């Protein structure tokens, strides 16, 4: 049923909540997992300049080593957890608008399922999905499993 499962991750607790669900499904269906980190160009400091933004879109971080480390840590955590369970994980880092790149990645890599976390806000706000999750749901035809995250604080 599932041959390739995509986990968009930013390393947050919300994203991490989805990893176990995705890995469980990958084990059950002997699927390959793809961990995708997208540097949100819209939220990066606009003073970077056009050349640096273009590099980010291409997944080249150059002098922005802190962003690269954060991205490697996020996808690496998925890969490490996958390895513990005998699940192959492909890591990919890119820059752009997250929901758009998630959809494009899913299409380009023939992803069968996207597994992502909701957000961890409490109260009325919690009833609404995070903007990246909601936009992903609206912009792709690939099934999306949204894993609820309850903040225990």
pTM, two decimals, is 0.81
Q: What is the mean pLDDT of residues 8-21?
A: 89
pLDDT value, residue 40: 78
pLDDT at 102: 96
The DSSP secondary structure of the chain, one letter per residue, reads --SEEEEE--SSHHHHHHHHHHHHHHHHHT-EEEEEEEEEGGGS-GGG-HHHHHHHHTT--TT-HHHHHHHHHHHHHHHHHHHHTT--EEEEEEEE-HHHHHHHHHHHTT-SEEEEE-----GGGGGSPPHHHHHHHHH-SS-EEEEP-----
Q: What is the pLDDT of residues 48-58, one digit of tens each?
A: 556 665 666 56
Domains and CATH numbers, the chain: 4-147 (3.40.50.620)
pLDDT at position 124 over 70: no
Which pLDDT score, from 0 to 100, does residue 125 have?
43
């Amino acid at each position: 049923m599932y041959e390739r499962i995509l986990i968009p991750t930013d390393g947050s607790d919300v994203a991490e909540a989805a990893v176990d669900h995705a890995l469980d499904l990958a084990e059950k269906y002997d699927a390959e997992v793809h961990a995708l980190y997208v540097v949100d160009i819209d939220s990066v400091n606009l003073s970077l300049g056009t050349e640096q933004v273009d590099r980010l879109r291409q997944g080249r971080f150059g002098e922005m080593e802190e962003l690269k480390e954060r991205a490697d840590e996020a996808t690496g955590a998925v890969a490490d957890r996958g390895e513990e369970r005998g699940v192959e994980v492909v890591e990919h880092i890119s820059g752009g608008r997250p929901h758009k790149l998630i959809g494009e990645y899913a299409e380009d890599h023939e992803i069968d399922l996207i597994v992502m976390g909701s957000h961890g806000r409490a109260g009325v706000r919690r009833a609404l999905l995070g903007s990246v999750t909601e936009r992903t749901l609206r912009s792709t035809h690939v099934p999306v499993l949204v894993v609820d995250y309850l903040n225990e604080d």
